[in-house]
Chain A
Amino acid sequence: MNKAAAEQSGTLILKASISRWKRWGWSALLLGLAPACLGAANGFQESALPFLEKHCYECHGGKKTKADLDLKQIRDDGRLLQDLKLWRGVLHQVNTGEMPPTKQPVQPTPEEITRFNQALEDSIAAAEAKLPLDPGRVTARRLNRTEYNNTVHDLLDVDFNASENFPADDVGYGFDNIGDVLSLSPVHLERYLDAAEGLAERAVVLKLPKPPERTTYSIFLEPGGYGSEDGTRPVTNAVPELFVRHTLKDSGLYRFRVRAGASNAAAGEPVRMTLRVGDREVLTAIVTNAPKKWEAFELELELPAGEHRFSALWTNRDTNVVGQTLYINEFKVVGPKDTRTPFMKRVDAIAPEAGDEQRAEDLVQWFLTRAFRRPPTPEERARYGKVFAAGRAAAEGKWEGGMQELVRSALVSPKFLFRVELDSQPQAVAPQAIDDYQLASRLSYFLWSTMPDEELLDVASKQQLGTQLEAQVQRLLRDPKSSALVENFGMQWLQIQRLATFQPDSQLFPAFDEGLRRAMLRETELFLTEIIRDDRSLLDLVDADFTYVNRPLARHYGIESAAFPEGGGKRRKHGEFVRVSLPDRQRGGLLTHASILTATSNPTRTSPVKRGKWVLEQILGTPPPPAPPNVPQLDAQKELTGTLRQRMEQHRSNPACANCHRQMDALGFAFENFDAIGRFRERDADGMIDPAGTLPDGRSFQGSADLRLILRDKKDLVARNMAEKLLTYSLGRGLEYYDERALRKILAEVARSEYRFSSLVISIVQSDPFRWRRGLGAAAAVPAADRPKGGS
């Protein structure tokens, strides 16, 4: 902003200073690391104010308000908590040496900085201690597309992308599961009606189909290429066994039927035919009918899903009996016999002995408990009982009609579509613990992106979830469904969905194709999966000595021979991923994944700024402030020249840009050895690449390997960032100042547990914001002007 504009909008400065800064989310580098004791608690007024007066107000106080920041306006410590993020930003800048700028003649001494830290931290802690418990309040969350799909899959046992046609879900705070942001338009409701109708008919089939038949005429029996006549085939010396293979989708009861006949059957021993499934002899029979007067031989047997070989043999062939031959006309494999849908089987198993009325009630109760993720109220039972009865009457008394109608209706109810957490005491002033069913839903949608399973509902019904929380979290994390955490949380946190539509210039990067794109994403998914499954340290995210590659990605990384040694190891399926260790430190951790390197590039070249910004935002949780509006045009006379790095440095000579870009660019250039699709390179078009740099705090590095070590060392920032992101995702709301206390507890626990992933999840799940809900009181404790939006 130029000076004139700044003066013009002078009256707006305060508003801007608060609103802009609040959103930065700078976190304190030294959080919790400041020397524990510097004497008694220094008040904000005594220790913080002199520092601000001496070092900050010249540019950020009253007359001058650079970067729209007026620290003088917010001097009283009553506002500390509301403006916590701002103060953390101030601390961060001071601690990293970004502020005051080096050009200032008077620089704070290390002691001054330490005292300033201590004063602020103490004041914050003191203010926090006075704060009543405020767990916040989560706005009712509409199921997003992923959650909807997973939920109906678990509820109805259907495999169907029901949400394919739903409008895209909007994103807030980086995630697509934020209650406040997930809106519901008429188009949504129209699609919900459509989906509910389609799902009801898939889950419950009124007229059961006949079991599928697989008929193989003799000429199509294996082994092929043999002469056949009149639709028959002889079983001969050369071909003593005729067979067919079928891949069965479902396990169940199957009928295997063979039509056979024998010529000259009466001449010698009776012709004995054996039917086999796999290696198992399942039937032996005497064939007496002549060919064309086919006789059918059949049996029923239980078969698991998968490929099976069905065959017929002539077991007592005697070549001395002239003219005696066994002929096969056809094979038939019919089944599975039970064509009920999986959902119908489940329903049939519920209260099968009960009388009609009772059973109807039981079914409604059973279904609504799952659809609404809690037991229905008496009114709901009555309301949906009528729906069930009407559907049943229309289907001539069959329960299937009732269930279909029930599904069709319940799936459009706000109680299904939203995760509503109703208060048992809506007028309570104090915060309330959410009930066990609500907790079960929070848990399952957090870790699985789907409804609670039977066990969770069962534990909730006994009100034991609170005491079993840790065990349940471990169980949920071990379950394959926890891949949802990688796919939904992980991919959004890393912001690499962008890769899905990213189009690198095909002239410059012919190596990039769909296969490589998928492989890049898969690598990151597998990497995150290992962090979760093996409960590794969060710090491994930043730097690790392993990754996953398939052959194209290994080639891309130049490690094909190491990952897929010639002759060594077993045969790999096409496209299969293997875990590789990365001893040479060229790559390691998310920052060197091709997915992220590509997603933070431009179509034609790398973007060190985007990469630097990505590290600050996604890994350290210290996003740079937005670029000042109306950045002055670079002097047209002064055409930027030289390498990309030199051009960036010229760009940075503009003081409006310098401060933030110094850090962003240094971080980004460290990864210049990776091109715009993440390939390693020594040089680019401008010559040898120089990935070395220095961070504002003075730490230097030679390249990305060094930098990764430095970043890995920023344990508190990395952990705090992860905790903030994961807590946001788990709650479905943005974090507010009153969540700070919970965050601190979470971080202390995580540090104690050596940054293990599960410790983060468990401490989140046990935190106040996850288990409690604000009553009417806490909101009133906050000044009206700052009352968080969305609460009651």
Chain B
Amino acid sequence: MSKPITLSRRTLLRGIGTTLALPWLDAMGPLTGWADGATPVAQAAPNRMAFLYVPNGINMADWKPSAEGPLSAELPSILQPLAAHRGDFSILTGLTADKARANGDGGGDHARALSAFLTGTQPRKTDGADIRAGISVDQVAAARLGDRTRLASLEIGSEAGSMAGNCDSGYSCVYSSTMAWRSATQPLPKEVNPKLVFERLFGSGSREERMRRDARRASVLDLVKNDFADLNGNLGRGDQRKLDEYFSAVRDLELRIERAAHLPEPVVPAGAAAPVGVPESYEEHLRLMADLMVLAFQTDSTRVCTFVLANEGSGKPYPFIGVSEGHHDLSHHGDNADKKAKIAKINRFHATQLAYLLERMKSVKEGDGTLLDHTMLAYGSGNSDGNAHNHDDLPILLAGRGCGTLNPGHHTVYSKETPLNNLWLSLLNRMDISVQHLGDSTGELKNI
């Protein structure tokens, strides 16, 4: 690796005024992968991907803009909290997650909706043995770009994975609580404690302490690899799969330790303080997680993030906005107007949090624009109407400019049955990851 010219961070900070440290900037460290010629010249910052998920579908009547074309100021009621950002996002209508449908597997639309959302793969109906979906779009990106940042990807949420019992008609709970799949058989748990997310991003202790600890960990990992080798090959198939997960986690940490040794120090931007724990208030919790996502992108700790605002099938009540019924029960609205209004209220609440996140991303200035300009953020649900559990005509919102590769601000209607995965495929290509197929994709999505 050629040694890049190193700028001092101080010089840089002075040069760009209020802008915070830009660890991704070429000259600051050997993070040159994204800028070594393959990308458009105009791209001064790396492109990022974020995927936000809301459960139980959306009250589509209050979501879908009335006409195609540029978004007008008269947004449907759920989108109104986003009015100030209407030039920064598009509504994509008509996309379908076919693999969230039963396709012969019977009930379980909630479990499938989340696990098929980013994978485009029919999740295997099982309450335990042989969990299987497919690799998710974020993890395709993480696998390809992960070596450029300290964390390959970040998985966050507000509700932990485990819930009682089989969560949805014979599907293990893992399906309705997991969005990111590292491989077809390895769901990635999400972190719901803001404090722990912060620690993952910025570690704890001084650089020396961290280096010492990393060195010690590297030798522990070396040792336990021998234990793994003892077992490897002497096991049944199920055991072997579990041990493979272990080994791949060991490799992952080893690589991270190697990378940490030559990546620039993580710097906590001014004004950002470590959160203490999980806030009581759901809204604060979501906002804190959103802040952390911004922080992770801003410091180039990762370029890929998934954020599950609530688990699929979540029965959470929203008494603080006047909805004391559980979300899931309400979503079976039976066309009752009162219930639908309440669902719209919940949808609007989530959209309000999205508005907060977009606002935050716009407030971070980066090179030639803002963080939002250098991000592709998808927001939506794998269920359309919660009552019908239909997985076509999904509510999908795409925000950000993806380093000039996206053209936000409009409502586009795609032909029926256009795979949602076409969108994901198109986003991957905008990360300079050339992939022919992803799940059930049939090609690129135009006009995004």
> Which segment, of B62-70, B81-89, B90-98, B221-229, faces chain A?
B221-229
Mark each residue of chain A from 605 to 641: 1 if its CB lies under 8 Å from any CB of chain B, else 0.
0010000000000000000001111100110100000
Known contacts A172-B127, A180-B131: A167-B326 contact under CB 8 Å: no
Which of A171, A184, A190, A408 is the one whose CB lies under 8 Å from B165?
Answer: A171
A413-444 residues at the B interface, CB under 8 angstroms: 413-415, 417-418, 420, 422-423, 426
Shortest beta-carbon distance from B306 to chain A in Å: 13
Question: Are A734's CB and B127's CB within 8 A?
Answer: yes
**Can you name the residue of chain B whose Cβ is closest to the Cβ of A408?**
B220
**Can you name the residue of chain A whose Cβ is closest to the Cβ of B186?**
A183
Q: List the B side residues contacting A137 at CB < 8 Å.
A: 236, 238
Question: Are A174's CB and B166's CB within 8 A?
Answer: yes
Question: Are A185's CB and B227's CB within 8 A?
Answer: no
* Interface residue? B417 (CB, 8 A): no
**Can you name the residue of chain A whose Cβ is closest to the Cβ of B221?**
A412
Q: List the B side residues contacting A602 at CB < 8 Å.
A: 325-326, 329
Shortest beta-carbon distance from B170 to chain A in Å: 4
Question: Are A142's CB and B242's CB within 8 A?
Answer: yes
Known contacts A167-B191, A181-B131: A422-B217 contact under CB 8 Å: no
> Which segment, of B18-26, B156-164, B363-371, B402-410, faces chain A?
B156-164
Q: List the B side residues contacting A496 at CB < 8 Å.
A: 164
Question: Are B220's CB and A169's CB within 8 A?
Answer: no
Q: Tell me the complex Cα distance, A630–B200, Å.
A: 43
Q: List the A side residues contacting B231 at CB < 8 Å.
A: 414-415, 420, 422
* Interface residue? B80 (CB, 8 A): no
Shortest beta-carbon distance from A512 to chain B in Å: 12
* Size bracket, chain B contacts: 35 or more
* Interface residue? B169 (CB, 8 A): yes
Q: List the B side residues contacting A417 at CB < 8 Å.
A: 246
A538-596 residues at the B interface, CB under 8 angstroms: none
Which of B105, B127, B188, B221 is the one whose CB lies under 8 Å from A16?
Answer: B105
Q: List the B side residues contacting A629 at CB < 8 Å.
A: 102, 106-107, 109, 389
Question: Are A185's CB and B220's CB within 8 A?
Answer: no
Question: Are B130's CB and A789's CB within 8 A?
Answer: yes
Question: Are A426's CB and B249's CB within 8 A?
Answer: no
Question: Are A19's CB and B106's CB within 8 A?
Answer: yes
> Which segment, of A327-335, A498-506, A709-717, A739-747, faces chain B?
A498-506
**Can you name the residue of chain A whose Cβ is closest to the Cβ of B213?**
A197
Question: Are A180's CB and B238's CB within 8 A?
Answer: yes
* Interface residue? B118 (CB, 8 A): no
Q: List the B side residues contacting A168 at CB < 8 Å.
A: 160-162, 189
Question: Are A790's CB and B130's CB within 8 A?
Answer: yes
Mark each residue of chain B from 236 to 279: 1 if its CB lies under 8 Å from any CB of chain A, else 0.
11110111011011101100100000000000000000000000
B136-176 residues at the A interface, CB under 8 angstroms: 160-167, 169-170, 172-174
Q: Tell me the complex Cα distance, A180–B238, Å.
A: 7
> Which segment, of A113-121, A269-277, A379-387, faces chain B?
A379-387
Which of B126, B228, B238, B256 is the one whose CB lies under 8 Å from A179?
Answer: B238
Q: Tell me the complex Cα distance, A168–B106, Å.
A: 28
Q: Tell me the complex Cα distance, A596–B172, Å.
A: 22
Q: List the B side residues contacting A184 at CB < 8 Å.
A: 242, 245-246, 249
Shortest beta-carbon distance from A472 to chain B in Å: 26
Question: Are B334's CB and A409's CB within 8 A?
Answer: no
Q: List the B side residues contacting A636 at CB < 8 Å.
A: 335
Question: Are A503's CB and B223's CB within 8 A?
Answer: no
Question: Are A172's CB and B128's CB within 8 A?
Answer: yes
Question: Are A170's CB and B161's CB within 8 A?
Answer: yes
Question: Are B227's CB and A413's CB within 8 A?
Answer: yes
Q: Tell me the complex Cα distance, A789–B129, Å.
A: 6
Question: Are B335's CB and A788's CB within 8 A?
Answer: no
Q: List the A side residues contacting B326 at CB < 8 Å.
A: 602-603
Question: Are B324's CB and A507's CB within 8 A?
Answer: yes
Question: Are B335's CB and A140's CB within 8 A?
Answer: no
Q: Tell me the complex Cα distance, A791–B129, Å.
A: 10
Known contacts A19-B106, A167-B189, A789-B129: A189-B162 contact under CB 8 Å: no
* Interface residue? A722 (CB, 8 A): no
Q: List the A side residues contacting B224 at CB < 8 Å.
A: 409, 412-414
Known contacts A23-B127, A193-B253: A791-B242 contact under CB 8 Å: no
Question: Are B189's CB and A503's CB within 8 A?
Answer: no
Known contacts A184-B246, A187-B189: A492-B106 contact under CB 8 Å: no
* Interface residue? B287 (CB, 8 A): no
Q: List the B side residues contacting A181 at CB < 8 Å.
A: 128, 131, 172, 174
Max chain A Cβ within 10 angstroms of own Cβ: one of B165, B189, B250: B165
Shortest beta-carbon distance from A201 to chain B in Å: 12
Known contacts A168-B189, A414-B224, A733-B128: A505-B324 contact under CB 8 Å: yes
Q: List the A side residues contacting B242 at CB < 8 Å.
A: 139-140, 142, 179, 182-184, 418
Question: Are A171's CB and B172's CB within 8 A?
Answer: yes
Which of A185, A415, A505 is the one whose CB lies under 8 Å from B188?
Answer: A185
Shortest beta-carbon distance from B173 to chain A in Å: 4
Q: Tell me the complex Cα distance, A423–B236, Å.
A: 9
Question: Are B173's CB and A171's CB within 8 A?
Answer: yes
Mark each residue of chain A from 706 to 749: 1 if its CB lies under 8 Å from any CB of chain B, else 0.
00000000000000000000000000011000000000000000
Q: Tell me the complex Cα distance, A187–B230, Å.
A: 24
Question: Are B173's CB and A409's CB within 8 A?
Answer: no
Which of A13, A185, A604 is the one whose CB lies under 8 Å from B245?
Answer: A185
Question: Are A139's CB and B324's CB within 8 A?
Answer: no
Q: Tell me the complex Cα distance, A665–B160, Å.
A: 32
Max chain B Cβ within 10 angstroms of own Cβ: one of A170, A178, A426: A170
Question: Are A492's CB and B164's CB within 8 A?
Answer: yes
Mark each residue of chain A from 1 to 38: 1 if its CB lies under 8 Å from any CB of chain B, else 0.
00000000100110110011001000000000000000
11 contacts between A and B (CB under 8 A): A170-B189, A186-B253, A377-B230, A418-B242, A492-B165, A506-B319, A508-B324, A602-B329, A604-B325, A734-B128, A790-B129
Residues on A close to B: CB < 8 A? 9, 12-13, 15-16, 19-20, 23, 68, 137, 139-140, 142, 165, 167-174, 176, 178-190, 193, 196-197, 377, 379-380, 383, 387, 408-409, 412-415, 417-418, 420, 422-423, 426, 492, 495-498, 503, 505-508, 602-604, 607, 626-630, 633-634, 636, 733-734, 788-792
> Which A-B residue pairs are the 3 nearest by beta carbons?
A172-B128, A626-B107, A792-B236
Besides A23-B170, A168-B162, A172-B128, 14 new A-B residue pairs in contact (Cβ under 8 A), listed by A number: A180-B130, A183-B131, A183-B174, A184-B242, A184-B246, A185-B188, A186-B256, A189-B249, A380-B230, A413-B223, A626-B169, A629-B102, A789-B130, A792-B238
